[in-house]
A = this chain, B = another copy of it.
């Protein structure tokens, strides 16, 4: 459904992504793991056209082109078909929880207002925040903000939702509530690509795990194969490190 090939990206001459290929099928829940600075965030931002890649090919929705040749219409098509949940929430500061969700529906999808409100309320309900609909982001806890962020992406009913470390800015106590929401989404068949350090999520919820390091995909496969029989030394090291600290 979504296919990326040979994605490259450099900043100031430093190559951060050195040719990444990812294949997402409908219903996939893919976890991307890897050390800090390995390029996970950069990968997500380039796949979703938030940044312009230096090279590579994308096949998604009606688009089948090199990244560098994407027209603004293509970009709009891609963006209309993805959802993005940011590490630092990035809720619209000047909109209430409800408005944060209706905004995209009304403005980008041309859904009429009452319909948009209905969808938004459902989405809020799903993340357990119906009672917070009129709060501004500054009046919500981090966990609540992130759940609104998820509801915002979900409400648009995109083909794929991308998550960039959705729980890393949260207190462990609040992590549970967000993970539960994500697990529910996965179970209801939503296609998801999740950058995470939450190993139990990667292992138990996703059907595919990608391990990245230094701008390469070092290894990918089913959670079992990655967690139980990692074939690469780099993967083993990473897993040892990370599991020691939980």
Residues of chain A whose beta carbon lies under 8 Å from any beta carbon of chain B: 35-37, 41, 87-88, 141-144, 165, 168-176, 179, 197, 199-200, 238, 241-242, 244-246
Contact = CB atoms under 8 A, between A and B. Distances in A.
Contacts of A172: 168, 197, 199, 241-242, 245-246
The quantity of this chain's copies bound in the complex is: 2
Contact of A36 (B87, B173, B200, B238): B173
A174 B142 contact: no
B37 A200 contact: no
Contacts of A171: 35-36, 165, 168, 197
A87 B142 contact: yes
Nearest to A132: B37
A153 to B, nearest CB: 20
A87 B168 CA distance: 12
Contact of A175 (B165, B173, B245): B245
Contacts of A142: 87-88, 168-169
A168 B168 CA distance: 7
A179 B197 CA distance: 17
A201 to B, nearest CB: 9
Nearest to A239: B173
A83 to B, nearest CB: 22
Contacts of A179: 245
A43 to B, nearest CB: 14
Contacts of A37: 141, 143-144
A144 to B, nearest CB: 7
A168 B165 CA distance: 12
Contact of A245 (B88, B144, B168, B176): B176
A187 to B, nearest CB: 18
